[in-house]
Amino acid sequence: MTTITKINLGKNGPLVSKLGLGCMRMSSVWGGLANDENESIATIQSALDSGINFLNTGDFYGHGHNEMLVGKAIKGRRDDAFVSVKFGAIFHNGQWIGLDLRPVAIKNFVNYSLVRLGIETIDLYQPCRLDGSVPVEDVIGTVADLIKEGKVRHLGVSEITVDQLREANRVYPVSALEIGYSLADRQIESDLLPTAKELGIGVVAFANTAEGLLTGEMKAPLSADDYHNHFSRFQGDNLIKNLETVEVLKQMAKEKGYTPTQLAIAWVNAQGDHIMPLVSMSRRSRLPENMEAMEIQLTAGEMDMLNTHFAPGSILGGTYLQR
Query: Which residues in 111-242 belong to E strands, given as ranges?
Result: 122-127, 152-158, 176-180, 202-206
Q: At what angle do helices 136-149 and 103-117 cross, to 10 degrees?
A: 40
My answer on whether omega of the bond before 173 falls inside 30° of 0, hence cis, is no
Are 20 and 278 in contact by the 8 Å Cβ rule? The answer is yes
Q: How far apart are CA 7 and CA 3, in angstroms?
A: 13
Kind of pairing between the strands at 122-127 and 202-206:
unpaired
From 61, 125, 181, 258, active-site residue: 61
d(CA 210, CA 198) in angstroms, rounded, equals: 26
Is residue 61 part of the annotated active site? The answer reads: yes
Work out the angle at residue 33's Cα, subtended by the Cα atoms of residues 27 and 262, and round it to the nearest 5 degrees.
65
Catalytic residues: 61
